[in-house]
Amino acid sequence: MSKNIDDNDVKILNILQVDATRSLESIAEEIGVSLNTCWRRVQRLEAEGVLERRVALIDNEKVGLPLTVFVSVRTDDHSKAWADRFSDAVNQMPEIVEFYRLAGDVDYILKIMVGSVSDYDRVYQRLISKVKLSNVSASFAMEKMKFTTELPLGR
Amino acid sequence: MSKNIDDNDVKILNILQVDATRSLESIAEEIGVSLNTCWRRVQRLEAEGVLERRVALIDNEKVGLPLTVFVSVRTDDHSKAWADRFSDAVNQMPEIVEFYRLAGDVDYILKIMVGSVSDYDRVYQRLISKVKLSNVSASFAMEKMKFTTELPLGR
DNA sequence: TTTGAAATGGATTCGGC
DNA sequence: GCCGAATCCATTTCAAA
């Protein structure tokens, strides 16, 4: 934990990462500081970029996106040019919601959210039309058992 | 896409899933409806559970959680009792931020956010002390190339 | 320089038309 | 769907420590 984040900051972050609609007044009361102090801390956390943004989370099933797919990618082309093209292609595709480069035998993992298996196939076809992938393996999620954007900050 | 979500609802959702601090007035203006209509639509989307909640997103590196680990789990115990114990254990561990049951040869995938490899090892030890896992494989993320909570709703 | 109390003005909420 | 009143809330100001 960064040294410029104290106990009260953590309390504020823990409240806001559960519910960003909480009023400053109620947060101030809960953590035992004045409204003003609380406001200043939130401002500082935003200015420092600790608090990145506030977003609305949408129920993926209720908007017709019940299927989550994890895709493992291996490549034999480890050039920068290839990596850049892959990255650009992924960033143009809104169905790909997460994308990491990994250590180990799998080079990349993608998380894709779509309406159906055939929607997934269209996303897959579009992706491989943009960039050559030597070894791709898809795993379909049968059940979302936990999903949170809340980071473990301790108390 | 569910039939009770129309074009204007999608526009509202697309705005709020990028920035939940936007005022109703500015949203109303952007999509071309009255403030009141916009407010009622947001109320309805919340009541229906389409809009689940609004949260603050925190910079994981700035709070000392630079390491993301994907863990694949295979099990030979496919009983309900075992699955429940696994699920309970995961839900008690805030470092595990995502958890899915998969189709295919890997049974589960976990996404874990921690400060370091040794923090990961502590999480891992804690997990296997609570539930027997027959085959576990961890992949460490070297680079977060894309992360968004924004669902692809089309226009 | 920091802190808290109070004022301001803007945004949200909700009834009625 | 639109108006407008009542309320709530973020932000600024200002005085005191």
Residue A120 and residue A74 in one domain: yes
Chain A residues 14-33 with Cβ under 7 Å of strand D are 23-25
Residue A40 and residue A86 in one domain: no
* pLDDT score for A101: 98
CATH number at residue A92: 3.30.70.920
Nearest nt by C1' to B21 Cα: C11
Identify the DSSP state of B63. T
SS3 state at B18: coil
**Partners of residue B98 in chain A, C-beta under 8 Å:** 146-148
Under 8 Å between Cβ of B131 and B85? yes
Q: What is the full DSSP assignment across A51-91?
A: EEEEEEEE-TTTTT--EEEEEEEE-S---HHHHHHHHHHHH
A80 to chain B, closest Cα gap in Å: 14
For residue B125, being part of any structural domain is answered with yes
For residue B146, being part of any structural domain is answered with no
Hey, are the CB atoms on A55 and B57 less than 8 Å from each other?
A: yes
Residue A43 and residue A71 in one domain: no
Q: Which of B19, B62, B146 sits opposite A53 (nearest CB)?
A: B19
CB A35 within 7 Å, strand D: yes
For residue B117, being part of any structural domain is answered with yes
Selected for mutation to probe chain A from B5, B60, B62 (highest A CB count within 10 Å) is B62
For residue B59, being part of any structural domain is answered with no
Average pLDDT over residues B110-132: 97
Q: Which residues contact B79 (CB under 8 A, 6 or more apart)?
A: none
Residue A103 and residue A135 in one domain: yes
Q: Which residues contact B72 (CB under 8 A, 6 or more apart)?
A: B106, B108, B109, B136, B137, B138, B139
Whole-number percent of chain B with pLDDT over 70 = 97
pLDDT digits (tens, 9 = 90+) for B83-96: 999 999 999 999 99
Residue B74 and residue B133 in one domain: yes
* pLDDT score for A154: 85
CATH number at residue A30: 1.10.10.10
pLDDT digits (tens, 9 = 90+) for B72-85: 999 999 999 999 99
Hey, are the CB atoms on A70 and B109 less than 8 Å from each other?
A: yes
* pLDDT score for A3: 57
C-alpha angle A14-B130-A139 in degrees, rounded to nearest 5: 75
Q: Is the dihedral of CA B26, B27, B31, B33 positive or negative?
A: negative
* pLDDT score for B4: 80
pLDDT digits (tens, 9 = 90+) for B18-56: 999 999 999 999 999 999 999 999 999 999 999 999 999
Q: Residue A120 burial by CB count (10 A; 0-12/13-18/19+): exposed, middle or buried?
A: buried
d(CA A100, CA B145): 5
Letter for the amino acid at A129? S
* pLDDT score for A4: 80
Hey, are the CB atoms on B64 and A109 less than 8 Å from each other?
A: no
Residue A134 and residue A83 in one domain: yes
Give the count of domains, chain A: 2
Residues with CB under 7 A from strand C: A 33-37, 40; B 23-25, 35-36, 39, 42-43
Hey, are the CB atoms on A54 and B50 less than 8 Å from each other?
A: no
pLDDT per 10-residue tile (average), chain A, 155 residues: 81 97 95 95 96 98 98 95 97 98 96 98 97 95 98 89
Task: Give the helix/strand (H/E) hosting B46.
Answer: helix B35-47
Q: Whose CA is closest to A57, among B38, B20, B21, B6?
A: B20
d(CA A23, CA B140): 38
C-alpha angle A67-B110-A2 in degrees, rounded to nearest 5: 120
Residue A43 and residue A72 in one domain: no
A104 phi and psi angles, rounded to 5 deg? 105, -165
Residue A87 and residue A136 in one domain: yes
d(CA B65, CA A112): 24
| Domain hosting residue B126, numbered range | 67-140
